[in-house]
Amino acid sequence: MNALEVSDLSFAYGAREALRQIHFSVPAGRFAALLGPNGAGKSTLIALLTRLYDVQRGEIRVGGHSLRTSPRQALRQLGVVFQQSTLDLDLSVEQNLRYHLALHGVSRRQGCARVDAELARQQLTERRHERVRNLNGGHRRRVEIARALLHEPRLLLLDEPSVGLDPASRQALGQHIRQLCNEHGISVLWTTHLLDEVQPSDDLLIVHQGRLVASGRAEDVSEEHGGSLGSAFHRLTASGVAA
Ligand code: ADP
Ligand code: MG
């Protein structure tokens, strides 16, 4: 069973083509890294997956539900951490989460239990009453992850979640998210432009100028296109792609 299926997806901003015939899937419980240079189309894809933009061509299915014909069921399966943080810095960790639940119309009692559970899973219980402004970048990201998981989605989307973090926090965040996959069966699509965020056993999708230029286990993609991930990535993204 696939958590996400994207088929023949194309998108243009007016005359400017941003994605062309993208085709991939993320199996349940897998960590998929979507790697591409700036401008490759990563955030455009996230915007389509979250229905910020309407699909122009192709199809997206989340947990088997079509985003086009069953948007409610599809979006219920999705949690998202956008590239730009959307936390209220002057609210506490807990208030940021509660505010989100209120927006979704979750009952107070049910909401309390979910907030407690997510804070514990993100190791934030002791920080719950602190203002977000006082947290470091890594902890702020965890608050966003907790918030994205409050409604218990099966698939978590993270758009360049490590931007702005120091190397140690970047590594800790990557480990933490892989643990969510391995121990809780959550599927993840993690976008990045940084090679060192990809591990050999990850599912890897490389996008360049709006096209998917490679996909498969990261170690297999590396082997097939140059030996190391670095040489594969440079080879696949060095030049313009033929139309
Ligand atoms: P990435 O997230 O991989 O850096 P984006 O999805 O943000 O890439 O951008 C993909 C392409 O679409 C880029 O060429 C970018 O300039 C263009 N683009 C992104 N957003 C818009 C927009 N709102 N209007 C027009 N072009 C856009
Ligand atoms: Mg982006």
pLDDT of residue 6: 98
User: Is 172 in the same domain as 234?
Assistant: yes
Q: Is 36's pLDDT higher than 90?
A: yes
Residues 92 and 115: their CA atoms lie apart, in Å, by: 13
Can you tell me which residue has the tokens 């990563």? 42
The three-class DSSP label of residue 187 is strand
Can you tell me which residue has the tokens 């989307």? 157
User: Is 162 in the same domain as 66?
Assistant: yes
User: Is 171 in the same domain as 188?
Assistant: yes
User: From ligand 1's centre to the CA of 162, what distance in Å?
Assistant: 19
With the most atoms of ligand 1 within 8 angstroms of its CB, the residue from 9, 10, 16 to mutate is 16
User: Is 72 in the same domain as 170?
Assistant: yes
Q: Is 105's pLDDT higher than 80?
A: no
Residues 174 and 156: their CA atoms lie apart, in Å, by: 13
Closest to 97 in 3D by CA, of 52, 121, 128: 128
Counted domains in the chain: 2
In the chain, beta strands by DSSP E: 2-13, 16-27, 31-35, 57-62, 65-66, 78-81, 155-159, 187-192, 203-208, 211-217
pLDDT of residue 206: 98
Q: Decide whether any atom of ligand 1 lies within 6 Å of the 84 Cβ.
A: no
pLDDT of residue 243: 44
Q: Is 209's pLDDT higher than 70?
A: yes
- 126 inside domain: yes
pLDDT of residue 124: 94
User: Is 12 in the same domain as 129?
Assistant: no
Q: In the structure, what pLDDT confidence band is assigned to residue 108 with cuts at 50, 70 and 90?
A: confident
Q: Decide whether any atom of ligand 1 lies within 6 Å of the 109 Cβ.
A: no
Q: Is 101's pLDDT higher than 90?
A: no
Closest to 231 in 3D by CA, of 240, 242, 221: 221
Q: Which residue has the higher pLDDT, 89 or 104?
A: 89
pTM of the full predicted structure? 0.94
**Are the C-beta atoms of residues 181 and 26 closer than 8 Å to each other?**
no
Residues 70 and 155: their CA atoms lie apart, in Å, by: 16
User: Is 166 in the same domain as 216?
Assistant: yes
**Are the C-beta atoms of residues 8 and 180 closer than 8 Å to each other?**
no
- 96 inside domain: yes
User: From ligand 2's centre to the CA of 111, what distance in Å?
Assistant: 31
Q: Decide whether any atom of ligand 1 lies within 6 Å of the 13 Cβ.
A: yes
- Ligand nearest to C-alpha 40: 1
Final residue of a structural domain among 101, 135, 152:
152
Q: Is 42's pLDDT higher than 80?
A: yes
Residues 156 and 188: their CA atoms lie apart, in Å, by: 5
Q: In the structure, what pLDDT confidence band is assigned to residue 107 with cuts at 50, 70 and 90?
A: confident
Q: Which residues does 100 contact at the CB level (< 8 Å), separation at least 6?
A: 147, 150
User: Is 204 in the same domain as 148?
Assistant: no
Nearest CA to ligand 1 atom 24: 13
User: Is 126 in the same domain as 239?
Assistant: no
Q: What is the CATH number of the domain that holds 175?
A: 3.40.50.300
pLDDT of residue 240: 64
User: Is 141 in the same domain as 99?
Assistant: yes
Q: Is 93's pLDDT higher than 80?
A: yes
**Average pLDDT of the residues in 14-41:** 97
User: Is 192 in the same domain as 214?
Assistant: yes
DSSP 240: P
- Ligand nearest to C-alpha 161: 2
Return left, alpha or beta for 227; rule: phi > 0 is left, psi -120 to 50 is alpha, else beta. Answer: left
Backbone angles phi, psi at 13, to 5 degrees: -90, 100
User: From ligand 1's centre to the CA of 11, what distance in Å?
Assistant: 11
Q: Is 141's pLDDT higher than 50?
A: yes
Domain range enclosing 105: 87-152
The answer to which of 48-57, 81-90, 231-240 has the lowest mean pLDDT is 231-240
pLDDT of residue 1: 86
User: Is 71 in the same domain as 180?
Assistant: yes
Final residue of a structural domain among 152, 179, 209:
152
pLDDT of residue 241: 56
Final residue of a structural domain among 121, 152, 183:
152
- 82 inside domain: no
User: Is 175 in the same domain as 239?
Assistant: yes
